[in-house]
Amino acid sequence: MTEHVHRDDFGSRLGMWLFLVTEMVLFGGLFIAYSAMRHRYPMEFHQAGAELNATLGIINTVVLLTSSLTVVLSIVAMQRGDKKRTIGFLSSTLVLGLVFLIIKAFEWSAKFHHGLYPNAPHLATLPPGEQVFFGLYFSMTGLHGLHIVAGMGVLAWVLYMVIQNQVRADRYVHLENAGLYWHLVDVIWIFLLPLFYLAA
């Protein structure tokens, strides 16, 4: 049968955008929880926020924003048919993602060191509002971290396809979609930064 292979890049992007909507709503649930709790404990959130290292948070923001830039640059390079640069930019995104995770790991371990983690004996002595703050902090940054890992997985897979020439200058919708996902992860972080690190 001479079957015409159906291809609809617009449809693929639409599907990706719809998926991003579900991700937004997923985090939306957590943002609702955050708003309700912050409304209830404004002072406690202020105090607990001071425990977080704003400098590291801002450094991580810069790292993530740069990684989004390199994704865009890789798409531009792909449009121009420059495979070598596409690979270079994609790899740098992956490296920046890793840097983000390493900084995050340092942050988290510092919190653990200070006994500021759920169910810790020290945390239990703090006022309830601060306990909730750290519950939310670990849930939200943890879930975000998982998304970073997932995004890196997707980008690594696309990188592999670029190397294999399955993603080419005439069909790069996979790259675009992976980029969209990475931008979403980035955008969510933009909201997490002020809500936690700048809450003090």
Partner 1 sequence: MTAQPSFLENTGSRKGILAWILSTDHKRVGLLYLYSMVSFFFVGVTIGVIMRLVQLTTFQHLVTAQTYNALFTLHGVIMIFLFVVPGLPAVFGNFFLPILIGAKDVAFPRLNLASWYFFMIGATLAILSLFTGGGAPDTGWTFYAPFSIKTGTNISLAVFGAFILGFSSMLTGINFITTIHRLRAPGMTWFRMPLMSWALYSTSWIQLLATPILAITLVLVILERFFGIGIFDPAKGGDPLLYQHLFWIYSHPAVYIMILPAMGAISEILPTFCKRPIFGYKAIAYSSMSIAAVGSLVWAHHMFTSGMSNVAQMVFSLLTMIVAVPSAIKVFNWVSTLYKGAIDFQPPLFFALSFIFLFCIGGLTGVMQGALAINIHIHDTYFIVGHFHYVMFGGTGFAFFAALLYWFPKMFGKMYSKKAIYASWFPMFIGFNMLYFGMMILGMMGMPRRYYVHLPQFHWMHVFATVGSWFLALGLLGFFGTLLYAIFKGEKAEDNPWGGVTLEWTIPSPPPLRTSKRFQPSPRAPITSRRRTRRD
Does residue 107 bind partner 1 (CB under 8 A)?
no
Q: Identify whether the C-beta of residue 167 lies closer than 8 Å to the C-beta of residue 175.
A: yes
55 or 119, CB closer to partner 1? 119
Does residue 135 bind partner 1 (CB under 8 A)?
yes
Does residue 76 bind partner 1 (CB under 8 A)?
no
Please give the Cα distance from 56 to 54 (Å, whole number).
5
**Rounded to the nearest whole angstrom, what is the least distance from the CB of residue 105 to partner 1 in the complex?**
17
Identify which range of 27-35, 147-155, 159-167, 176-184 contacts partner 1 by CB under 8 A.
Answer: 27-35
96 or 184, CB closer to partner 1? 184
- DSSP-derived secondary structure letter, 117: S
Please give the Cα distance from 57 to 107 (Å, whole number).
9
**Rounded to the nearest whole angstrom, what is the least distance from the CB of residue 18 to partner 1 in the complex?**
5
- DSSP-derived secondary structure letter, 164: T
Please give the Cα distance from 200 to 50 (Å, whole number).
5
# chain residues binding partner 1, by CB under 8 A: 41
Q: Which residues of 37-46 are buried (b: 16+ CB within 10 A; e: fewer)?
A: bbeebeebbe
Q: Which of residues 41-60 bind partner 1 (CB under 8 A)?
A: 41, 44
Q: Identify whether the C-beta of residue 151 lies closer than 8 Å to the C-beta of residue 45.
A: no
For residue 195, the surrounding DSSP H or E stretch is none
Contact with partner 1 (CB under 8 A) among 2, 5, 10, 55: 10
118 or 194, CB closer to partner 1? 118
Which residues lie below 8 Å from residue 170, measured CB to CB, with a gap of 6+?
A: none
Interface ranges with partner 1 (CB under 8 A): 1, 3, 6, 8, 10-11, 14-15, 18-19, 21-30, 32-33, 36-37, 40-41, 44, 118-119, 124, 127-132, 135-136, 138-139, 143
